[in-house]
Structure 1
Amino acid sequence: MQRRSFLASVLAASVLPQLSWADAGDPAYLAAAQTADGAFALHGLSLAGESLFALPLPARGHAATAHPTRPLAVAFARRPGTFALVIDCALGQETARLTPPAGRQFNGHGTFSADGARLYTSEVVAETSEGRLGIWDTASWQRIGECATHGVGPHDVKRLPLSEDLLVANGGIQTDPTDRTKLNIATMRPNLARLGPDGALISLAEAPEDLAQNSLRHLALLSDGRAAVATQWEGDPAEAPPLLALWEDGRLTFCPVPEAEMLVMQNYAGSIAYCPARAEIAITSPKGGAVQVFDAAGRFRATHRRADACGVAPAPAGFTVTDGNGAISTLGAAGLQPATRLDVKWDNHLIALDRA
């Protein structure tokens, strides 16, 4: 009887329907926010900007990443972070809370393997800011290893399409582990490292010497296998260098803007996205209150003004943009148009879910 009962339970489990993102309201985006009462939450947003769910976070969130098949999101603390919260968005429940090992800090970003069996987390060795990728098993949510990122101060990490290779933006900045004082601006060397799934270094692309103080921060993947990277300039503020670079085959090419547009972004790009439908790249600056748009070759197209704009993600006809005042705007052929507003302060990033 025990054997028959066991086999029956296995059979029942095998035919139970698997929850999907449709069971979580079929969100188009994930975004962290601070609510009017000072609490923090991870929102699932529709294409129209409707909040489909708002799940509590223990502290301020930064970015998130979505499981490729299951309605699971991992919300990362703002760096230097001490939590990565695994949330079942269909059930509205915390599934696990990941904590970095002693001497490590999460750095706000992560990504899944193609099959969702592994989670990779961007981390630093707290005392030195040396980069690490933590590797976690998503069946048990146990840490199963780590590898070097081959740089200092890693931030964003993406899995390259049709591949298990990872692209890591090593920002190059060593910071004090307690107060985040920047310690090495004069000698920093940011890079983009392409790693195999086992952590082996495949290629390393560094900024040229005159742009070595241009911290490589956030990534967007283009349809043709290239990547775009948003930067934050740590050098002389009067220089106003390019804040967008394109990565291809282990090489970086920086994309200049017209002289009249150079100072608009105040040397700070907070987020980046690529829209396949328009073959455009957008970078945002909450400091400058602006969004700049480029074509896929990195040629400047336009600047759009929006106070405290930072989150940006692709939409069917352009981009969706969030800001610290609670607005959700659309950016397309008609320019930047406010669409809706919630009583929250949106944080830095708007994460698009793969709706293919």
Structure 2
Amino acid sequence: MTSRRGFLAGLLAAGVVPKPGWADAGDPAYLTAARLPDRSYWLFGLTETGDELFRLPLPDRGHAAAAHPARPEAVAFARRPGTFAVVIDCVTGASKAVLESPPGRHFYGHGAFSADGGLLFAPENDYKAARGVIGIWDAARGYARLGEFSSGGVGPHDARLLPDGETIVVANGGIETHPEAGRTKLNLSTMRPNLTYLRLDGTAVDQTELDPALHRNSIRHLAVGPDGLVAFAMQWEGDLAAHPPLLGLHRMGGTPRLLAAGDEDHRRMQGYAGSIALAPASGQVAITSPRGGLVQMFDTVTGTCLASHAGPDVCGVSDAGRGFLITAGTGIVSLAGAQGEIWRRRHACQWDNHLVRVARG
């Protein structure tokens, strides 16, 4: 039987160069950023069981990564209000490109590829005009910036591609910021968060807002199911005594459904959902609160809270098939489901906010 090495050698001799895929990087299931004890920052590739496959250096603190749908390549975004993103070859560890936001712009820490991987769409802040934009970067040609279009609101924190491959949903958090004011929120009294659905040319096709009484509930993070269900996580910028819902479900053209656990468990979230994930196989959705040290899991059909799991500084969460994989600032990686924790292991690092599932082609 011909060996893989011999097969590849034959292809090379014939002038056929195979394109590298995620298997060449060890076939990671997840990407996530972390800080090591020496205060250096890294991008990690993790297996389904939470083991480390690789770690690649970052120039500063990362937030979330966008995994290319075909190439073993990740775009690691700086934490808001960062002005850089690094394109990393996850096989060699080399930096393939550095994205610098244009003057008057900064990134929000998230991005989404087009279905064919040719374009990268990055939420950005046009802080001089106090409006959100989606930057368009040419991933097929060295990540040159091609332009931008309006995000449909203020503070577009996250964006995801819908299964139709033609529409992006944007979480416009509604919060105005400016680098000269640091992370100060400048418009809390007039916030208007929304979900906006945009074609890839920037044409708006749908937009939904929350009830005016919830205008301080900043829509921050998104998860999208294979059937087009959009789940969104919120962070409350009002009086914590109000305890509004922090989880919503929406379908384009419909009305948002807001979900919350029972009073005591909901109060423990402290008005803050840090990350979100959908598990289509089980019909569940999970949100995390690093402030409350809590993970909550819900049934997407009934809206019932199925479980609340406590853990200090938990934030990253992603679908793991038979449950949710969860990361924490303590270095813990765990697998948990509605029935409880299945396993956990500890790494010598502080995981950052998000755990990104690498899509299988």
Give 2:305's match in structure 1, choosing from 300, 315, 329.
Answer: 300
Count of paired positions: 346
Pick one of 177, 187, 191 that aligns with 1:188.
Answer: 191
Q: Which range moves more in the overlay, 17-26 or 292-301?
A: 292-301
Give the drift of 1:12: 6.6
Structure 1 partner of 2:6? none
1:317 aligned residue = 322
Unaligned runs of 5+ in 1: 1-10
The one of 142, 145, 151 equivalent to 1:143 is 145
Check conservation: 1:128, 1:174, Cα contact below 8 A.
no
Three-state SS of the structure 2 residue aligned to 1:108 is coil
Task: List runs of 5+ in structure 2 lacking aligned partners.
Answer: 1-11
Please give the residue correspondences for 1:199-214 in structure 2 after superposition, counting only pairs within 5 Å.
199-214=202-217
The answer on whether the counterparts of 1:110 and 1:158 sit within 8 Å (CA) in structure 2 is: yes
1:21 counterpart residue number: 22
Match of 1:237 among 221, 235, 240: 240
What letter is aligned with 1:177?
P
Q: Which residue of 2 aligns with 1:197?
A: 200
Q: CA deviation at 1:128?
A: 4.2
1:129–1:173 contact (8 Å) kept in structure 2: no
C-alpha distance in structure 1 between counterparts of 2:245 and 2:173, whole Å: 15
Residue of structure 2 in register with 1:347 after alignment: 352
1:32-71 CA distance string (max 9 Å, x none): 0001110000000001111111000000000001111110
In 2, Cα distance between equivalents of 1:263 and 1:21: 41
Trace 1:1-356 onto structure 2 (pairs within 5 A).
15-138=16-139, 139-178=141-180, 179-250=182-253, 251-297=255-301, 298-356=303-361
* Partner of residue 4, structure 1: none
CA distance in 2, matches of 1:308, 1:14: 51
SS at match of 2:111: strand
Displacement, 1:222?
Answer: 2.0
- The structural deviation recorded for 1:334 is 3.9
User: Are residues 288 and 337 of structure 1, via their aligned partners in 2, closer, same or farther at CA, if it must alter by over 3 Å?
Assistant: farther
Letter of the aligned partner of 1:28 in structure 2?
A
- Is the partner of 2:244 in helix, strand or coil? coil
Shift of 1:13: 8.8
C-alpha separation in 2, matches of 1:333 and 1:263: 20
CA contact (8 A) 1:314 1:320 kept: yes
8 Å CA contact 1:218, 1:271 repeated in 2? yes
The alignment yields a C-alpha RMSD, in angstroms, of 1.4
Whether contact under 8 Å (2:163, 2:227) holds in the other structure is no
Shift of 1:182: 0.8
Deviation, 1:126, is 2.3
CA distance in 2, matches of 1:267, 1:333: 22
Q: Provide the C-alpha distance between the structure 2 equivalents of 1:231 and 1:28, rounded to a whole number of angstroms.
A: 26
Give the superposition deviation at 1:210.
1.1
Q: Decide which moves more: 244-253 or 55-64.
A: 244-253
Give the AA of the match of 1:186: S
**CA deviations over 1:149-204 (Å, ceiling 9, x no partner):** 01000001000013221000000001232212111111100000000000011111
Normalising by structure 2, report the TM-score.
0.93
Counterpart amino acid of residue 38 in structure 1: R
Amino acid at match of 1:106: F
State the SS of the aligned residue for 2:202. Answer: coil
3-state SS of paired residue (1:238): helix
Question: For residues 145 and 13 of structure 1, do their structure 2 counterparts lie closer, same or farther at Cα, with a shift above 3 Å needed?
Answer: farther
Cα displacement (A) at 1:141: 1.2
In structure 2, relative to structure 1, the CA distance for the partners of 1:89 and 1:150 (3 Å cut) is same
Amino acid at match of 2:143: W
Matched residue, 2:5: none
Q: Which one-letter code corresponds to 1:83 in the other structure?
A: F
Q: Distance in 2 between matches of 1:292 and 1:161?
A: 25
Q: What secondary structure, in the 3-state scheme, does the structure 1 residue paired with 2:291 have?
A: coil
Contact kept, 8 Å, 2:43 with 2:76, in 1: the verdict is yes
Are the counterparts in 1 of residues 97 and 142 from structure 2 also a CA contact under 8 Å?
no
Partner letter of residue 127 of structure 2?
A: A
**Mapped contact 1:110–1:157 kept (Cα < 8 A):** yes
